A = this chain, B = another copy of it.
Amino acid sequence: MTRTTKPYHHGDLRNDLLKAGMDLLKQHGQSAVTTRDCAKIVGCAPSAVFRHFADRKAFITGLATEGFTLLGTRMTAAVETVDKDVQHRVAARTYIDFAMQEPHLFRLMFQGDLIDIEDPDLRAASEFLRNDAALANPTAPNQKDDEAVLAWAIVHGLASLAIDSQLCRGLPNDAKQRTDALMRILDRTASPFKD
């Protein structure tokens, strides 16, 4: 055996708690992400959670932050591999695919009353979206900015409606196939994504 007595101090409790929360979230949704269950999974006392997070909202915000980081990583990685003229289309596909694969996480990331919108870490992790879409000032007179906002709205709207089961009738179960179905709509109708 590698270890007989478990040490009093946990290695990286904060991160392990987030990982446990991610598992619960992925499998059973946000209501199943309970601080006590996360503590039990990690193997620490329920009170230990609050050494690393001010309250449950802060913990959930931490999960959302990880989600934005993950989405950002995927999008930049995907965009880097393709030609400039199809980058926005690839970005859209990656965004939608992320939502289809991680619906609970995606929902959480945009659930304004469950997370702390002002949290600096969260803002930093999600900044790339506002930058990419030039959303610092959505009322800008700049036509290009408007189109960027609109593109985000289209993709985000499609993903959200599909997740919240308003669009689910007729959509396939498999995540990839659902992404394909939504992308087909984009291809055929949305001018910003037409090549």
Contacts and interface: CB of A to CB of B under 8 A. Distances in A.
Number of copies: 2
A112 B181 CA distance: 20
A52 interface: no
A146 B154 CA distance: 13
A161 B152 contact: yes
A81 interface: no
A3 interface: no
5 contacts: A138-B181, A138-B185, A153-B154, A154-B157, A156-B161
A136 B166 CA distance: 9
A115 to B, nearest CB: 9
Contacts of A125: none
Among A103, A112, A182, residue most surrounded by chain B Cβ atoms (within 10 Å): A112
Contacts of A77: none
Contacts of A189: 143, 146-147, 149-150
